[in-house]
Amino acid sequence: MTAAVAEAVPLAPGQTREVAEVLARALHDDPHWAWILPDESRRAQVLPWFMEVWARYCGKCGVVHTTAGKVEGAALWIPPGKYPLSVVRLILAGMMLVPLKLGRAAFGRLMSGVNYEARLHKRDVPSRHWYLATLGVDPPRQGQGIGSALIQPV
């Protein structure tokens, strides 16, 4: 018997926290996040909060897709013309607390990565496009086609 193919659907009201928890688990061991927050317990504490704020931002200015039924993954998209990110929208989503939540050193690493990515983005992708800001699948469900299904609608 084969597993059912995941169906991507728009984020429903009230699912942001669940999406954040799934993304935090999916990205906990990601090298980028391990570099930003090297202490595993601190990373486990901060990532759910960060992903909730980030998903809220992406939901307001872009599109968030998750799986139908139980949240098993999410794709957070920024549409053409909305990147680079709006400082005002970031503040309204709660990102102004990021330096306090991450701490000075981790925030510095985050911004170093963000600035590097922005330079590459400007150089390598000058035309209007959809930007896949975050893609993650709950670890027990990885490798089953959920990530592929989540990016199909865009």
Is the preceding peptide bond at 10 cis, omega within 30 degrees of 0? no
Does residue 147 fall inside a structural domain? Answer: yes
Residue type, 57: Y
Indicate the number of domains in the chain: 1
Q: Is the pLDDT of residue 2 over 80?
A: no
Residue 3 lies in a domain: no
Is residue 116 in a domain? Answer: yes
CATH number, domain of 61, equals: 3.40.630.30
Over residues 51-75, the mean pLDDT reads 95
**Is 1 domain-assigned?**
no
From the list 15, 13, 106, 16, the residue with the least C-alpha distance to 52 is 16
User: Average pLDDT in the 20-34 region?
Assistant: 98
Starting at the edge strand found earlier in the chain, the sheet holding 73-78 runs 8-10, 63-67, 73-78, 131-137
**pTM greater than 0.85:** yes
- pLDDT tens-digit map of 95-150: 889 999 999 999 999 989 988 988 998 899 888 899 999 999 999 999 999 999 99
Q: What does the pLDDT look like over 28-61, one tens digit per residue?
A: 999 999 999 999 999 999 999 999 999 999 998 8
82 burial level (CB within 10 Å; 0-12, 13-18, 19+): middle
